[in-house]
């Protein structure tokens, strides 16, 4: 008698992928096939058609059981987008698609609960997006909103004819190139298109052994690129020194202004290119922020841009004049809990978060909101507040000294101060409501 042994076929472990959609505005999605790409190829999630709501509302499109594992692309009709999705056996993994006019929005694909929540915030306008741009790099290759989608980007204003702060920005980028997280794109974008042609930028990069992107374009394309960040086209040593962090979905998350501290790690060729004013900036440490601060910020912008800090002693003293012409001394505020917000009119995240601060700080706490503008004129600061419908006065930190004393290395920065004058916490980057309420709770405690 023979005995037959049947080996049961093991079924692959599966999880559930839930596809949801939202847009910047509502619109109709005609019948479209949805699929995700994994190690085994494309996996169909079915065909869908639906009215897509404007974020933060969302619409479920599909829910399917799929093999556990990693997926790297999603396809909606003819559109394909890169996305990192990890499906765990027995668990649900959300995949949010940003859809406009029936098509995937470039860079607006989010996987996981945290990223999906971030995406709904971005699509609903909580963050400010860079407008579409079309520039070229030093090799003549496209540097566009499409080519940078899916990458966190550090972008700085510079031009090769500058001998004051721009060589320091290039030195900063050399430090970032050595230590930034993987997948970060570094780009110095000129403000002098007449001088900085691709061949000029290529020669500049070769001379320094620079491996990152240098970008240029027509005067109009560059003016449009820099407009959201308040940077004007310029030549020589007169310009607006600005660095911004853009997240993988094309939204402005942090804006730095002024001169970086590059220490002694600077190429000799850059040192010799500095003017007397540039040498003074190098020796003084600029405005006190540098590569470590930017790298720390980069580690946070893949999710909500909050970087909680440890308490740091007593809040520094300040005495500043406001947009109303009145002078305020911090000594007069002792005994009150304070929410001190550092901002500037050129900072998109500042504009996005300020209505939240103005609404929730007085309504949800006994703390006083203190707005401190970094470097704007009185008229520009007042116009910014008026554009948001805020009647509150703001203090003018014209020389940025108060901001530096409080550790406002990037904008916006919010410092929470207890009634005894001790700093309870700092938040670098745009606050969302949940984090703000948590910080106010800690302040009350």
Q: What is the pLDDT of residues 122-178, one digit of tens each?
A: 788 777 778 899 999 999 999 999 899 888 999 999 999 999 999 999 999 999 998
Q: Is the pTM of this model over 0.75?
A: no
Strand runs (DSSP E) across 39-180, as ranges?
41-52, 59-67, 69-76, 79-87, 92-100, 103-111, 128-129, 134-137, 142-144, 152-158
Q: Report the alpha-carbon angle 176-177-179, nearest 5.
A: 60
Cα–Cα distances (Å) from 159 to 191, 232, 241, in that order, read 6, 12, 11
Closest CA to 260 of 233, 278, 272: 278
* Best CA proximity match to 408, nearest among 341, 358, 347, 346: 341
pLDDT tens profile 279-316: 998 998 887 788 888 887 787 665 433 333 344 578 99
Plot region of 413 (φ>0 → left; ψ -120 to 50 → alpha; else → beta): beta
CA atoms within 13 A on the CB side of 361: 23
Interval 210-245: pLDDT, tens? 999 999 999 999 999 998 888 888 877 667 788 999
Compute the distance between CA of residue 384 and CA of residue 310 in angstroms, rounded to an integer: 31
Q: Collect the ranges in the chain with pLDDT lower than 70.
A: 1-12, 113-114, 117, 237-238, 300-312, 409, 445
Beta-sheet pairing, 14-22 with 59-67: antiparallel
Q: Are 402 and 319 in contact, with CB atoms under 8 Å apart?
A: no
Q: Which residue has the tokens 């076929």?
A: 9
């Amino acid at each position: 008698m023979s005995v037959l042994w049947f080996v049961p076929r093991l079924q692959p472990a599966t999880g559930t992928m839930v596809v949801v959609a939202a847009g910047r505005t509502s619109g109709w999605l005609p019948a479209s096939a949805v699929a995700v790409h994994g190690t085994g190829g494309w996996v169909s999630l079915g065909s869908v058609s639906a009215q897509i709501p404007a974020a933060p509302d969302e619409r479920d499109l599909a829910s399917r059981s799929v093999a556990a594992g990693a997926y790297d692309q999603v396809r909606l009709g003819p559109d394909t987008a890169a996305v990192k999705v990890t499906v765990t056996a027995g668990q649900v993994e959300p995949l949010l698609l940003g859809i406009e006019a029936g098509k995937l929005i470039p860079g607006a694909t989010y996987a996981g609960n945290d990223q999906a929540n971030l995406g709904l915030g971005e699509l609903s306008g909580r963050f400010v997006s860079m407008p579409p741009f079309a520039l070229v790099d030093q090799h003549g290759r496209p540097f566009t909103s499409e080519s940078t989608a899916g990458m966190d980007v550090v972008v700085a204003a510079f031009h090769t004819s500058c001998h004051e702060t721009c060589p320091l920005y290039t030195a900063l980028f050399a430090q970032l190139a050595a230590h930034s997280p993987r997948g970060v794109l570094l780009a110095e974008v000129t403000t002098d298109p007449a001088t900085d042609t691709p061949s000029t930028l290529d020669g500049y990069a070769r001379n320094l052994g620079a491996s990152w992107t240098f970008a240029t374009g027509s005067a109009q394309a560059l003016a449009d690129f820099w407009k959201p960040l308040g940077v004007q086209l310029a030549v020589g040593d007169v310009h607006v020194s600005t660095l911004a962090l853009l997240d993988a979905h094309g939204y402005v998350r942090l804006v730095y202004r002024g001169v970086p501290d590059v220490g002694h790690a600077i190429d000799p060729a850059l040192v010799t290119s500095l003017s007397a004013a540039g040498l003074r900036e190098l020796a003084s440490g600029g405005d006190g922020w540098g590569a470590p601060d930017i790298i720390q910020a980069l580690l946070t912008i893949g999710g909500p841009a909050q970087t909680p800090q440890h308490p740091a002693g007593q809040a520094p003293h300040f005495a500043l004049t406001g947009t109303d012409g009145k002078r305020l001394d911090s000594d007069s505020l002792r005994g009150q809990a304070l929410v001190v917000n550092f901002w500037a009119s050129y900072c998109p995240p500042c504009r996005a978060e300020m209505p939240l601060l103005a609404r929730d700080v007085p309504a949800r706490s006994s703390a006083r909101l203190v707005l401190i503008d970094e470097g704007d004129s009185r008229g520009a600061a007042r116009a910014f507040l008026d554009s948001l419908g805020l009647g509150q006065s703001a203090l003018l930190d014209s020389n940025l000294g108060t901001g530096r004393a409080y550790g406002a290395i990037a904008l916006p920065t919010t410092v929470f101060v207890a009634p005894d004058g001790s700093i309870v916490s700092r938040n670098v980057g745009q606050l969302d409501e949940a984090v703000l309420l948590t910080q106010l709770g800690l302040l009350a405690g």
